[in-house]
């Protein structure tokens, strides 16, 4: 059976192929009457419409934009914060009639999505900046938008004020009287790093900013820190990190966590040890994800607006698409963060005891 193409219909009707193309893609280019006949013939012959692949080649656009994620797409789907962000992106892109292609940064026997999949542009989201996948996207000269990444000249970006938020969180603990604070941040490795002194350059962007924010504020106040690098990807790592922090003799009186999810598991670890939150241990999260409110006690955290972040990123990308190759001034956006004080933080035990005396 021969394939049905524009030509098939053109031949059947004795018109030019171009006319058939126009019937589908540019209705104003032919009379309504002829267009009807063309469409009728198309239906009869079982022609669905212009082949997207051929159209993509000729027009140069595909109607889909990519989102580059970490190696593990599967893991990203379990991340509620990422999903809120995606939701906003999807909303905005759907409005513009664009589809969303998820790209894994991983290479599987020769297949490299970032290099091989056709798309009109891409969002680079929260993935290892050294990833070869990012390089491919850059080399392809695709319109890009960086999200939660270190800025790069010439590429529009959306970030949140991670450092400012982290400082506010640290300051909050200082103000409460804490002078010995645990810091739990994500690392790329697979083993817990206790008492580490992380190289900022080895951390992912958001992690680095938050870590530096904490350090900056705590350092200024002369507080001590206990650093633990927690591998991403498994909740049990969070729990173990919590235990590693709380089992020790010089246990801190408060913990700053990279995320609300991590904070949740630390609270669990604390409660399993018979520690009361916030009386014996203050815990602060990051993101203000839905779990922050579900946790008992409710979680003090740093809020960021995922929805706005997604919407802005999608808008920047569609703008970049519209401008085509001509790159306007790349704007770097920074969204605000806000400390949200809830029930999981309180003065350290010693201070409380002193006050009660």
Partner DNA sequence: AGATTTTTCTATATCGATATAGTACGAGCC
Partner DNA sequence: GGCTCGTACTATATCGATATAGAAAAATCT
- 56 binds its own copies, rule: CB under 8 A: yes
What is the C-alpha to C-alpha distance for residues 300 and 100, in angstroms, rounded to an integer?
34
Binding-site member from 3, 130, 141, 329 for DNA (CB under 7 A) = 3
- 26 binds DNA, rule: CB under 7 A: yes
Note whether 77 and 83 are within 8 A (CB). yes
- 140 binds DNA, rule: CB under 7 A: no
- 12 binds DNA, rule: CB under 7 A: no
- 329 binds DNA, rule: CB under 7 A: no
User: Measured from the CB of residue 66, what is the shortest distance to its own copies in angstroms?
Assistant: 8
- 136 binds its own copies, rule: CB under 8 A: yes
**Triad 68, 64, 123: Cα angle to 5°:** 30
Q: Which is nearer to DNA, 34 or 335 (CB)?
A: 34
Total of residues contacting DNA (CB under 7 A): 30
Site string for its own copies, 28-47 (x = CB under 8 A): ------------------x-
Q: Which is nearer to DNA, 50 or 231 (CB)?
A: 50
Q: Which does residue 219 touch among its own copies, DNA, none (CB within 5 to 8 A, set by kind)? A: none
- 201 binds DNA, rule: CB under 7 A: no
Residue 328 DSSP code: -
Q: Which does residue 77 touch among DNA, its own copies, none (CB within 5 to 8 A, set by kind)? A: its own copies
Q: Which does residue 24 touch among its own copies, DNA, none (CB within 5 to 8 A, set by kind)? A: DNA
Q: Which helix (DSSP H) or strand (DSSP E) does residue 68 occupy?
A: strand 64-68
Q: How far from chain centre, in Å, is Cα 241?
A: 24
**Residues in a beta bridge with 181:** 225, 254
Site string for DNA, 43-82 (x = CB under 7 A): ------xxx-xxx-xxxx----------------------
C-alpha Rg value of the chain to the nearest Å: 26
CA atoms within 13 A on the CB side of 240: 13
Contact set for its own copies, span 98-117 (CB under 8 A): 98-104, 106, 108-111, 113, 115-117
Contact set for its own copies, span 276-295 (CB under 8 A): 294
- 5 binds DNA, rule: CB under 7 A: yes
What is the C-alpha to C-alpha distance for residues 169 and 286, in angstroms, rounded to an integer?
9
What is the C-alpha to C-alpha distance for residues 198 and 208, in angstroms, rounded to an integer?
9
Return the structure tokens found at 85.
């962000």
Note whether 66 and 60 are within 8 A (CB). no
Interacting residues of 140 by C-beta distance below 8 A, sequence separation 6+: 115
Q: Which helix (DSSP H) or strand (DSSP E) does residue 210 occupy?
A: helix 205-220
List interacting residues with DNA (CB under 7 A).
Answer: 3, 5-7, 14-19, 21-22, 24-26, 29-31, 33-34, 49-51, 53-55, 57-60
């Amino acid at each position: 059976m021969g394939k049905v193409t524009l030509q098939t219909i053109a031949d059947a009707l004795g018109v030019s192929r171009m006319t058939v193309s126009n019937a589908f893609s540019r209705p104003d280019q032919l009379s309504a009457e002829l267009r009807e006949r063309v469409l009728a013939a198309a239906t009869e012959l079982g022609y669905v419409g212009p082949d997207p692949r051929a159209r993509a080649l000729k027009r140069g656009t595909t109607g889909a934009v990519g989102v580059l994620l970490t190696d593990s797409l599967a893991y990203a789907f379990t991340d509620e914060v990422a999903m809120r962000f995606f939701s906003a992106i999807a909303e905005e892109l759907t409005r513009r009639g664009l589809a969303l292609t998820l790209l894994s940064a991983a290479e599987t026997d020769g297949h490299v999505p970032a290099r091989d999949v056709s798309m009109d542009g891409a969002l680079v989201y929260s993935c290892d900046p050294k990833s070869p996948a990012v390089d491919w996207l850059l080399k392809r000269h695709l319109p890009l938008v960086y999200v939660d990444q270190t800025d790069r000249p010439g590429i529009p970006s959306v970030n949140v004020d991670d450092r400012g938020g982290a400082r506010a969180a640290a300051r909050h603990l200082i103000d409460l009287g804490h002078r010995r604070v645990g810091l739990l941040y994500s690392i790329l490795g697979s083993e817990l790093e206790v008492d580490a002194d992380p190289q900022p350059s080895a951390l992912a962007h958001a992690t680095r900013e938050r870590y530096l924010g904490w350090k900056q504020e705590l350092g200024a106040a002369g507080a001590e820190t206990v650093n633990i690098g927690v591998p991403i990807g498994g909740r049990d790592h969070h729990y173990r990190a919590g235990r590693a922090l709380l089992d020790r003799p010089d246990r801190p009186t408060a913990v700053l966590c990279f995320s609300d999810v991590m904070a949740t598991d630390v609270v669990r670890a604390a409660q399993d040890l018979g520690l009361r939150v916030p009386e014996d241990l203050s815990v602060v999260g990051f993101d203000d994800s839905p779990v922050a409110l579900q946790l008992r006690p409710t979680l003090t955290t740093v809020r960021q607006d995922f929805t706005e972040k997604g919407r802005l990123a999608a808008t920047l990308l569609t703008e970049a698409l519209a401008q085509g190759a001509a790159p306007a001034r790349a704007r770097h956006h920074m969204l605000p963060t806000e400390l949200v004080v809830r029930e999981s933080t309180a003065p350290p035990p010693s201070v409380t005891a002193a006050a009660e005396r």
